[in-house]
Amino acid sequence: MNVENVLERILPTVTRPARYTGGEWNSIVKDWDACEVHWALAFPDTYEIGMSNLGLAILYDILNRQADVLAERVYAPWVDMEQAMRAAGLPLFSLESHRPIAEFDIVGFGLPYEQLYTNLLNLLDLAGLPVLAGERDERHPLVVAGGGAVFNPEPLVDFVDAFALGDGEQVVLDLTRVIRQAKREGVSRESLLRRLAGIGGVYVPRFYEVRYHDDGTVAELKPTVPQARLPLRKRIVATLPPPVTRPLVPYIDTVHNRAAIEIQRGCTRGCRFCHAGMVYRPVRERPLNEILDAVDEIVTNSGFEEIALLSLSSSDYSHIETLIRELAARYGPRHLSVSLPSLRVESVSVDLMEQLRLTGRRSSFTFAPEAATERLRGVINKPIADDDLLAVAEEVYSRGWKTIKLYFMIGHPTQTLDDVAAIVDLVLAVRAVGRRSIGRKAQVNVSVSTLVPKPHTPFQWVPLADEDDIRTQQAFLKEHLRGPGLKLNWNGYQETLLEAVLSRGDRRLGAAILRAWELGARFDGWGDQFKVEAWRQAFRETGIEVGFYARRPRPLDEIMPWDHIDTGVTKSYLIRDYEASLRGETRLDCREQCYACGILTAFREERAGVAAEAWGCPPLTAR
Amino acid sequence: MTQDQGPRQRLRIGFAKRSQLKYIAHLDLARTWERAFRRAGLPVAYSQGFNPRPRFQIAAALPVGVTGRAELLDVWLDEPTSPEQVLARLRPVLPVGLAVLSSEQVDLRAPSLQSRMRAADYVATLDSAEPVAAIQARIQELLAEPVLLRQRQHKGKLQRYDLRPLIQTLTAEAGEGGQVSLKMRLQASPQGAGRPDQVLEALGLSLAASAIERTRLHFEFDK
């Protein structure tokens, strides 16, 4: 089939056809025959979201730098395009060379969140591949997955051949090396997978077997072949590799239509609900000069009018003020705006805001207090003071910004209706500050999500809050947070429940994911596409009790389905921190004091190889 | 900042929008130009105000799905730069499908391209089983109508309008390999613009067109 001819015919009939054409500035089209290993990098959500994902951009850059390797992209076709492709018999194709995905050696999925699981199945199916790993063989590409969600890979083990745990920069090259060798030798799928199992940070789930207790909890997970190891420790890079300086420039508007540079990986704050804060440790900072040089290259190479300084908490970067001042001085007159997507109230200075103002065009400021009472902030370990937030709000509004966005969560452990009422008080106080400053133009946009307890966090034992309670709390917020200058967003409980089930699921969920997909579930993170009935039926037919996964308080001595995945943070640390949480004890910034989470023990060698100031963790002391 | 420090030069650039770029809508094309100017390091002037924007104007939006062989835009620069140099700097930084064809200096105070636009020529290539004579007959019928009420989307709403006065010329001729070329000149002025897909639809040929290209823009100053 000629992909081009079919595209000519169907693209005029679908929404945003430029999602499917490729050809973006800085996209890389290499000679297929001159390359020995062919990667398809797949992001199973829309083009607009996938193009905004820095993780895949980094791997695209690294892989394409290898002389004999090519990497091409593919995103999830929107529902109209899927329909058109299926009707025309057009298989899933890559954006760069419009080649069928089935012809690649390896398909690497980026999975930052759980709502993408049915889309992963759908992409495999659209590519003409069996969705079940056990039904694929030497004729098919190898299917691997990485990203934040795969720190609990168990729900996907039926579909994915191998998982890459942790930082991907080195492991993709290890995978490439092993696949190249296997291709040369023409080895069987089985023996290729055994070789992959020998790579650090690579989990090949078919080589492990799980036994369950009568009550349904995990009794044991054990390797079935000698190559399969335990525990499976994530990979880290001791130093952040050089940033991508030739970023892809989309033609159409994307979620983050701008350049981005990662200024720091990991976070030292230790918010107890935060998955990223636990699994991306340790903190590694990029040197100031490297950032400044890279920004220059990025702007020249891409022409972007905005650059985002990315980090889980960008205002915690050690040299943030110098960095912003320097960027404002260099690029202010050249109309480059600088954005800091994640700011901590306690580390935003007046000077920082003043410098940001000079870089122009920023429409709003976002802060995430997550809870509104001092007591509950102690429980979640995010101890900010209301006075600080109000003082920052004052500074923001008085500098001409009209909108402040505030993120909160409900359903935290020990939370009461008083804690929810405090959200209302705080939001109204922020609006009052804004009105004093700029009158009725002051706007507060409030997002209230429901806590989904995540694996590998101190809240992994906590049940998802009860549906009636959440609905009552949401109704209370809707009633009290309306009026001029206020906007409230929240999540539907059923979507939250699905995320909670998938987040802490085990291998038995695979059957339900498969069934839900067969029943039409895809784009589960999209409110207008989410098919709650398909999921209900799938759970019913496969005998999955959602309460068991989402709503059950789990005993501290239970073996979790993801306990064999080692993030470097020890389970005993998570238990200690959870217990501290119930006493309302906070653990402040771990740059100030090490709380011995386990990272330094797990990654001693990596720590020893870098400078004292390169990591948030203290330097090693002689033993 | 005073008025005297405004832009120093205005250039009119001829360009083509081809191949897959036809799927990119007008605002996206504008952003693509903005970024290309920046990559080229051209001293593009910015508007004043809270949200400064680079100053350039594309003569006329191309409908999505239509390529353009002879498009025009004006760009204002803060520093004088020769038209040749502008072309030389742009060429290496344009994405596939976008090409610069010409560049000339125009008076800073000349009226905007949009305000002087009058008409545009389009060629639609038809993969039609019908002989060219049958299509010509249909064209005659269509042109004989005094009024052609059609519907189109305008700012998210369905709008009724009369297509007939927007069609200035419409002819069909046999091309290579049994294809038929449908040539039309449609009004394209501040008072209203005809769309080639709407003409095809009125002829009952919307599914027959394998390609549509805008081949020329007509301005008041062309005479």
Distance (Å) of CA A239 to CA A166, A236, A296, A609, A614: 14, 9, 21, 9, 8
Find, in chain A, the residue whose alpha carbon is nearest to that of B51: A361
The more confident residue out of B3 and A515 is A515
Alpha-carbon distance of A221 to A5, in angstroms, equals: 50
Instruction: Please check whether residue A270 lies inside any domain of the structure.
Output: no
Alpha-carbon distance of A104 to A100, in angstroms, equals: 8
Q: Is the distance from CB of A434 to CB of A393 less than 8 angstroms?
A: yes
CATH 3.30.70.3190 residue ranges for chain B? 117-222
A426: Cα within 13 Å, side-chain hemisphere: 31
Find, in chain A, the residue whose alpha carbon is nearest to that of B48: A335
Question: Structurally, how many domains does chain A consist of?
Answer: 2
- Whether residues A302 and B21 touch (CB distance < 8 A) is answered with no
* Ordered mean pLDDT values, 10 residues apiece, chain A (623 residues): 87 94 96 98 98 96 98 98 97 97 98 97 98 97 98 98 98 98 96 97 98 98 96 97 97 94 95 97 96 96 94 91 91 85 80 75 81 96 93 90 94 96 97 95 96 98 97 97 96 96 98 98 95 98 98 97 98 97 92 93 95 91 63
Work out the mean pLDDT of chain B and round it to a whole number.
92
Alpha-carbon distance of A32 to A358, in angstroms, equals: 46
Instruction: Please check whether residue A330 lies inside any domain of the structure.
Output: no
- Tell me which residue in A22, A300, A360 faces B39 most closely, judged by beta carbons: A300
Last residue of a domain, one of A211, A233, A255: A233
Burial of A572 (0-12, 13-18, 19+ CB in 10 A): exposed
Find, in chain A, the residue whose alpha carbon is nearest to that of B38: A303
Q: Is the distance from CB of A150 to CB of A497 less than 8 angstroms?
A: no
Residues 6+ positions from A226 with CB-CB distance below 8 Å: none
- Whether residues B38 and A303 touch (CB distance < 8 A) is answered with yes
Cα A227 from chain centroid? 29
- Tell me which residue in B23, B31, B51 faces A21 most closely, judged by beta carbons: B23
Find, in chain A, the residue whose alpha carbon is nearest to that of B31: A251
Residue B223 pLDDT exceeds 70: no
Residue B135: both structure tokens together: 């299509």
- Whether residues A18 and B20 touch (CB distance < 8 A) is answered with yes
Instruction: Please check whether residue A352 lies inside any domain of the structure.
Output: no
Secondary structure class of A483 (helix, strand, coil): coil
CATH 3.30.70.580 residue ranges for chain B? 3-110
Q: What is the model's pTM?
A: 0.95
Give the minimum alpha-carbon distance from B80 to chain A in angstroms, rounded to a whole number. Answer: 17
| A557 in contact with B, Cβ within 8 Å | no
| B51 in contact with A, Cβ within 8 Å | yes
pLDDT at B1: 40
Residue in the structure block whose two tokens are 């952003």 = B31
Q: What is the CATH number of the domain that holds A24?
A: 3.40.50.2300
Which of A:231-250 have CB within 8 Å of B?
A: 249
Handedness of CA A11, A14, A15, A20 (dihedral sign): negative
Q: Is the distance from CB of A76 to CB of A119 less than 8 angstroms?
A: yes
Instruction: Please check whether residue A203 lies inside any domain of the structure.
Output: yes
Alpha-carbon distance of A424 to B162, in angstroms, equals: 54
Find, in chain A, the residue whose alpha carbon is nearest to that of B39: A303
Residue B16 pLDDT exceeds 60: yes
| A446 in contact with B, Cβ within 8 Å | no
**Residue A339: which region, alpha, beta or left (left: phi > 0; alpha: psi -120 to 50)?**
beta
Residue B131 pLDDT exceeds 50: yes
| A305 in contact with B, Cβ within 8 Å | yes
- Whether residues A300 and B52 touch (CB distance < 8 A) is answered with no
Alpha-carbon distance of A239 to A603, in angstroms, equals: 12
Last residue of a domain, one of A233, A249, A280: A233
- Tell me which residue in B37, B95, B210 faces A25 most closely, judged by beta carbons: B95
B165-186 pLDDT, tens digit per residue, is: 999 999 999 987 778 999 999 9
CATH topology of domain B117-222: Alpha-Beta Plaits (3.30.70)
Burial of B184 (0-12, 13-18, 19+ CB in 10 A): buried
Distance (Å) of CA B210 to CA A1, A7, A9, B64, B123: 18, 12, 8, 14, 11
Last residue of a domain, one of A188, A203, A233: A233
| B221 in contact with A, Cβ within 8 Å | no
- Whether residues A22 and B21 touch (CB distance < 8 A) is answered with no
Find, in chain B, the residue whose alpha carbon is nearest to that of A14: B23
- Whether residues B20 and A305 touch (CB distance < 8 A) is answered with no
Which of B:71-100 have CB within 8 Å of A?
A: 93, 95-97
Give the minimum alpha-carbon distance from B123 to chain A in angstroms, rounded to a whole number. Answer: 17
- Tell me which residue in A23, A304, A335 faces B95 most closely, judged by beta carbons: A23
Is the domain spanning B3-110 CATH 2.60.40.730? The answer is no
Domain carrying residue A62: 3-233
pLDDT at B179: 87
- Whether residues B35 and A304 touch (CB distance < 8 A) is answered with yes
| A555 in contact with B, Cβ within 8 Å | no
Handedness of CA A258, A263, A265, A269 (dihedral sign): negative
B37-73 pLDDT, tens digit per residue, is: 999 999 999 988 777 889 999 999 999 999 999 999 9
- Whether residues B96 and A303 touch (CB distance < 8 A) is answered with no
- Whether residues A360 and B32 touch (CB distance < 8 A) is answered with no
From the candidates B21, B26, B29, B35, which should be mutated to test the interface with A, based on the most A CB atoms within 10 A?
Answer: B35
Give the minimum alpha-carbon distance from B165 to chain A in angstroms, rounded to a whole number. Answer: 27
Instruction: Please check whether residue A359 lies inside any domain of the structure.
Output: no
- Whether residues B34 and A303 touch (CB distance < 8 A) is answered with yes
Handedness of CA A561, A563, A566, A570 (dihedral sign): positive
Instruction: Please check whether residue A495 lies inside any domain of the structure.
Output: no
Contacts of A303 in chain B (CB under 8 A): 34-39, 93
